[in-house]
A and B are shown apart, each in its own frame.
Chain A
Amino acid sequence: MKRNALTRQIARALPFPVGVTAFWSVLLILLCLFLMILSTLRPQYFESMRTGLSDQFAPALSIISLPFENVSVFFSDVQDIAGLRAEAERLEAENARLREWYHIALLLESENKSLRELLNLKADPKYDYVSARIIAGAGQNFVKSVLIGAGAADGLTKGDTALSGEGLIGRLVEVGENSARILLLDDINSRVPILVEDTLIHAIMRGTNTDSPELIHFPRDSEIPEGARIITSGHGGGYPPGLPVGRVVTAESGKKTVDLFADMDRLRFVRILKLQTKKAPYANVLVPMKDEDPQEEKHTEPINSETGETQP
Chain B
Amino acid sequence: MTANPYMPGEKTGFVLAYILLSMLFLVNAQAPSVLSIGGAGTPFLLMGIYYWSVYRPTLVPLWLVFVLGLLLDLLSGSPVGLNTAVFVATRWLVTDQRLFLMGQSFMIVWLGFVFVCGIAVSSQWIIYGALKMLWSASETIPATIALGAVLFPPVSVFLHATHQLLPSGSGSYKPQR
For the A-B complex, the count of residue pairs with Cβ-Cβ distances under 8 Å equals 158
Q: B67-112: which residues lie under 8 A (CB-CB) from chain A?
A: 69, 71, 74-82, 84-85, 88-89, 91-92, 95-96
Q: Is the CB of B32 within 8 A of A65?
A: yes
User: CB of B33 within 8 A of chain A?
Assistant: yes
Q: Is the CB of A188 within 8 A of B134?
A: yes
Tell me the B residues contacting A by CB distance below 8 Å.
23, 26-27, 29-36, 38-42, 62, 66, 69, 71, 74-82, 84-85, 88-89, 91-92, 95-96, 121, 124-125, 127-128, 131-132, 134, 136-137, 139-140, 144
What is the CA–CA distance of A306 and B146 in the complex, to the nearest angstrom?
55
14 pairs, A vs B, C-beta closer than 8 Å = A21-B62, A28-B84, A28-B88, A29-B85, A32-B69, A50-B75, A68-B30, A139-B32, A139-B35, A140-B41, A141-B144, A142-B124, A143-B77, A209-B137
Top 7 nearest A-B pairs (CB, nearest first) are A139-B36, A209-B136, A32-B81, A68-B32, A32-B85, A35-B81, A25-B92
Residues of B contacting A189 in the complex (Cβ-Cβ under 8 angstroms): 132
Q: Is the CB of A33 within 8 A of B81?
A: yes
Question: B167 to chain A: closest CB distance in Å?
Answer: 23
Given known pairs A140-B77, A142-B140, the reply for A68 and B35 (CB within 8 Å) is yes
Cβ contacts A136-149/B at 8 Å (1 or 0 each): 11111111110100
What is the CA–CA distance of A32 and B74 in the complex, to the nearest angstrom?
13
What is the CA–CA distance of A141 and B41 in the complex, to the nearest angstrom?
5
- Majority SS of interface residues in chain A? helix
Given known pairs A40-B131, A140-B78, A188-B134, the reply for A32 and B84 (CB within 8 Å) is yes
Question: B150 to chain A: closest CB distance in Å?
Answer: 14
Q: Is the CB of A35 within 8 A of B33?
A: no
Question: B33 to chain A: closest CB distance in Å?
Answer: 4
Q: Is the CB of A39 within 8 A of B77?
A: no
User: CB of A91 within 8 A of chain B?
Assistant: no
Residues of B contacting A128 in the complex (Cβ-Cβ under 8 angstroms): none
Cβ contacts A68-103/B at 8 Å (1 or 0 each): 110110010000000000000000000000000000
User: CB of A267 within 8 A of chain B?
Assistant: yes
Q: Is the CB of A138 within 8 A of B36?
A: yes
| Other-chain contact of B80, A39, A138, A209 (Cβ < 8 Å) | A39
What is the CA–CA distance of A149 and B92 in the complex, to the nearest angstrom?
37
Q: Is the CB of A64 within 8 A of B30?
A: yes
Given known pairs A22-B92, A25-B91, A210-B139, the reply for A136 and B81 (CB within 8 Å) is no
What is the CA–CA distance of A32 and B88 in the complex, to the nearest angstrom?
9
User: CB of A224 within 8 A of chain B?
Assistant: no
Q: Is the CB of B29 within 8 A of A143?
A: no
Residues of A contacting B32 in the complex (Cβ-Cβ under 8 angstroms): 65, 68-69, 72, 138-139
| Other-chain contact of B121, A32, A69, A141, A174 (Cβ < 8 Å) | A141
What is the CA–CA distance of A209 and B41 in the complex, to the nearest angstrom?
13
Q: A197-220: which residues lie under 8 A (CB-CB) from chain B?
A: 208-211
Among A52-60, A160-168, A227-235, the stretch that binds chain B is A52-60
Q: Is the CB of B136 within 8 A of A75?
A: no
| Other-chain contact of A54, B38, B75, B121, B128 (Cβ < 8 Å) | B75
Q: Is the CB of B36 within 8 A of A265?
A: yes
Q: Is the CB of B30 within 8 A of A136?
A: yes
Question: A132 to chain B: closest CB distance in Å?
Answer: 16
Question: B81 to chain A: closest CB distance in Å?
Answer: 4
